[in-house]
Chain A
Amino acid sequence: MRGATRVRCAVGVLAVALAATACGGGSSGSSGGSSGGIVRASWGDPQNPLEPTDTNEVQGGKVLDMIFRGLKKYNPKTAKAENMIAQSITSTDAQNFDIKIKPGWKFSNGQPVTSDSFINAWNYGADLKNAQLNAFFFEQIDGYDKVHPDAVGATPTATKLSGLTKVSDTEFKVKLNTKFSLWPDTLGYAAFYPLPQSFFTDHSGWLKKPVGNGPYLIQQYTKGTQMSLRKWTGYKGDDAAANNGVDLRVYTDNNTAYTDLQAGNIDLVDDIPASQLKNVKSDLGSRYINEPAGIIQTISFPLYAKGWSTPQSALVRQGLSMAINRKQITQQIFQNTRTPASDWTSPVLGDAGGFKEGLCGQECDYNPTKAKQLIQQGGGLPGGKITIGYNADTGSHKEWVDATCNSINNVLGNNKACVGEPTGTFADFRNKITNKQMTNPFRSGWQMDYPLIQDFLQPQYFTNASSNDSHYNSPTFDKLVNQANAESNSSQAVSTFQDAEKQLVKDMPAIPLWYQNGSAGYSSNLTDVALNPFSVPVYNEIKVK
């Protein structure tokens, strides 16, 4: 068990109050001229500028999590959303929320964190003109359709979300366009971070060197190469950095990062190359972390395509699910860095959060006889054979796709029943899916944005939802999801979501394959290294010897 030495306490309010009087708002709290106490970690080049509402991948998210704190923060151990800057978020009807923020928080440039920091940031993120990739996170807020009309080519008729109203510097109200009881728990996501005034007054300057309100500040940033983060001494939260800073270095090849770790050139690698999984235990021993992350891999079906749209085809999909020997593949190919899936969420949610092992039941268990029977019952594979689509450029999907097909072929006793179908680039692959050009099953993966069962179900399987790649359409599922969202009691909401999930077993719009683990390795210089539910190292808790 990890993290035994960690002391997390709930004296946040007191700490904030005490620290608030101590801080004069010095513009540069950069500490430590010495090189000691710095964590040297591997990094990948973020794809987009480091704006919170424009960062949707892990590498950029890593940095934002270090330099920002939002209304809520997900507990790195339990994944539970806990108040950070928020003093309280209350609602009587699951639709109108009253958010009070703790006073005294500041950005590292000295500007205060007020309700305007949130309102302006959210308006910026939602505005269509700014073309932010995370804009859809604000779609539940009233007035989103005016600021960000859905149709291609439409022009926004407003620049501010009408659902946001400022009450005072420490309080604002949010009106949602529909009931969504778990909404406050989404507020730990990067898109909801506050932004300082300087973001709006000097945008290009801010992008060169982003300024936030988190435990670290950026000392130096060379795009595409490296970033030096240093502990911010003026930080108000109770989770201040336990080290003096983090140096992130971009590696193009995770093999090189791993070699550098072995040579003592770097302290922390959070992506162990697949080719090294066999050696990693002997190389690093207990300094290798391998634990579940909020990622699930599935095979989705184009339910709009001929052959997959009939009610009977559900039997074929169930049969295919039972024809996949998940256990063997995760052991042989992934060296146990994946766990066979038995529901559509992730173990990081925990039982209280909605993860339920075995929810899928026998439909996700390997059972060759039953599988063959079900496929035949459903009329056989459409056209006598299927392909599984994947992108060939990143992620090395070929191996497991071939293994999965192999498993299916063995069950059906036909070695031409299933073959992999690579697409050259990820962009092209995604385009085909978005444009509904798939005629055969294809690989899909989901990395959670926030640790809620809602995030695993609604975006992927709700009718016309943003990432409903299968174009699954089930009135029963939709009704249950809506009902769950309106539920004011969160445990009741979770169990209603699970009821909705059970509908997926019947229709099987996507076959759950396995839960992906996060992996990391670190040098003997470090202690207290852990991964959070998003499989990102919890940098602020790392101690340097």
Chain B
Amino acid sequence: MGRYVIRRLLQMIPVFIGSTFLIFFMVYALGDPVAALFGEKAPDPATAAQIRHDLYLDHSLGAQYLHYMKNIFVGDFGTAFNGEPVLTLMGDAFPITIRLTIVAIIFEIIIGILLGVITGMRRGKPVDTGVLLLTLVVISVPTFVTGYVLQYVFGVELKWTSPSVSPSAPFNELILPGLVLALVSLAYVTRLTRTSIAENTRADYVRTAVAKGLPRHRVIIRHLLRNSLIPVVTFIGTDIGALMGGAIVTERIFNIHGVGYQLYQGILRNNAPTVVGFVTILVLVFLLANLLVDLLYAVLDPRIRYA
């Protein structure tokens, strides 16, 4: 187990280097950011040259990348154009996005799995058909549509909540955005759980448990659900990374200044340090979440062992 974890952690190093280089290269390919700083005016050549020099943009791509990596190892992630260190931006943005992700994941787990179990146990019944239809609708409607609609209905018409989230973004304000963010994944979780449960209701160990005379809830929770959760856990695990990086749309609609917002600003302004820094952390989150999922398998199913 310990050796397995270490091996997995070591594998992250090449992935980390490779992904940072790729992202760095892509932002670099977007073009020279300095011209945009001057707005609609033509940059005066001397000032532009001085800015390029200050930002280390007057070197080759390889040299820029090495310079960037060297700085990362001493804890300097560079600065955004407004003079704010990227590290500070991360310190502000990540806690907010993590809170948003937690809310979304909780929705996915509670509502998604619950609906999945109910529909899986009652295949073909009206409940099942109804929920399936609903998930289909949720999956096919784009996030920004559900986002704006729910924001208008709950924020402006009903006034149950404020349409936008305040800068400190406490948990109670993130419920609606979290739901919007979770909706699509929630539909997938429901469908995954349903299929998995439906398959396993006919498994031998379930029949054995029922034959032993175990109470129904114990059969469902201890035996059926636990064994059916493996694909769901895989999905939710990878979804953590996707939710954190993919919250751009939701964060924009509800004016949440999290990771998505910073990435959007970074891309709009061609600011390599911001984009590379944030994406790198997202890559790490993705890798760690995957590792966690793999370790969870062993907990859910004792037959799975890691050496």
Contacts and interface: CB of A to CB of B under 8 A. Distances in A.
Interface of A: 45-49, 56-57, 128-129, 131-133, 135-136, 148-154, 207, 222-226, 249-253, 255-257, 259-260, 262-263, 265, 393-394, 424-428, 430-431, 433-434, 444-447, 459, 466-469
Contacts of A154: 46
B24 interface: no
A224 B253 contact: no
Given A262-B156, A393-B268, A256 B163 contact: yes
B203 interface: no
Contacts of B255: 250-253, 256-257, 260
Contacts of B261: 224, 252
Given A56-B38, A428-B31, 9 more contacts: A148-B46, A152-B45, A223-B82, A250-B257, A252-B257, A256-B164, A427-B36, A444-B40, A467-B40
Nearest to B255: A256
Interface in B8-43: 30-43
Nearest to B40: A445
A418 B46 CA distance: 37
A459 B43 CA distance: 12
Given A256-B253, A259-B151, A56 B41 contact: yes
19 contacts: A48-B82, A56-B41, A148-B46, A152-B45, A222-B167, A224-B89, A252-B261, A256-B164, A263-B155, A425-B30, A427-B30, A427-B35, A427-B269, A428-B30, A430-B42, A431-B32, A434-B35, A466-B42, A467-B42
Interface of B: 30-51, 54, 81-84, 88-89, 92, 148, 151-152, 155-156, 159, 162-164, 167, 251-255, 257, 261-262, 264-265, 268-270
Main secondary structure on chain A at its contact with chain B? Answer: loop
Contacts of A249: 167
Contact of B31 (A135, A260, A425): A425
Nearest to A132: B47
Contacts of B39: 56-57, 447
Contacts of A224: 82, 84, 89, 92, 257, 261-262, 265
A466 B155 contact: no
Contacts of A150: 44-46
A431 B253 contact: no
Contacts of A431: 31-32, 35
Contacts of A131: 47, 50-51, 54
Query: Which 3 A-B pairs rank lowest in CB-CB distance, beginning with the nearest?
Result: A427-B36, A131-B50, A430-B35
Contacts of B35: 427, 430-431, 434
Contacts of B264: 252
Looking at B41, B45, B50, B88, the one whose CB has the most chain A CB atoms below 10 A away is B41
B38 A263 contact: no
B252 A427 contact: no
A222 B46 CA distance: 32
Contacts of B151: 256, 259
Contacts of A469: 42
Contacts of A263: 155-156, 159, 162-163
A135 B45 CA distance: 11
A256 B253 CA distance: 6
Contacts of B269: 47, 427
Contacts of A251: 164, 255
B79 to A, nearest CB: 10
B265 A394 contact: no
A253 B31 contact: no
B155 A259 contact: yes
A212 B39 CA distance: 25
Looking at B30, B81, B164, the one whose CB has the most chain A CB atoms below 10 A away is B164
